[in-house]
């Protein structure tokens, strides 16, 4: 769970909460399997993906601002480390998106 703090709690904590909500909706969907649950899972998973990408873009803009303020004197190892940390939020958002889509597919397959 260290990647949650490494990726920045501003975006990673809401993504984790969205994952928990999606899992709860999936369990609820196993019981009632309504169309509303399918749509909610799909919408929340897509929102997770977009939120992760937004976190990356905002972080990248901040990093570029810091680089330009530092006259461009930055080592490649620091830059690579920054990209690694910056890509944690969109990666987590993509994983949540895939989990949500898988849950939606399973609920559709299970539908009577």
Question: pLDDT digit of tens for each residue in the chain (112 aa)?
Answer: 677 777 788 999 999 999 999 999 999 999 998 999 999 999 999 999 999 999 999 989 988 888 888 876 888 888 888 888 889 999 999 999 999 999 999 999 988 6
- Both tokens of 57, joined, read 């873009």
Q: pTM to 2 decimals? A: 0.90
> How far apart (Å, rounded) are the C-alpha atoms in residues 55 and 5?
13
For residue 42, CA distances in Å to 48, 85, 91, 96, 105 come to: 10, 27, 18, 11, 10
Say what the pLDDT of residue 73 is: 80
Q: Which two tokens stand for residue 59?
A: 């972080």
Report the candidate in 58, 59, 48 with the shortest Cα–Cα distance to residue 15. Answer: 48
């Amino acid at each position: 769970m260290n990647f949650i703090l490494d990726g920045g709690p501003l975006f990673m904590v809401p993504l984790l909460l969205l994952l928990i909500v999606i899992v709860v909706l999936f369990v609820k969907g196993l019981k009632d399997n309504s169309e509303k649950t399918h749509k909610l899972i799909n919408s929340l998973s897509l929102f997770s993906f977009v939120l992760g990408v937004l976190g990356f873009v905002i972080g990248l803009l901040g990093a570029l601002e810091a680089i330009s303020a530092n006259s461009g004197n930055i080592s490649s190892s620091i830059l690579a480390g920054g990209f690694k940390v910056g890509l944690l939020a969109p990666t987590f958002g993509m994983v949540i998106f895939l989990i949500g889509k898988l849950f939606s597919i399973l609920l559709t397959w299970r539908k009577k």
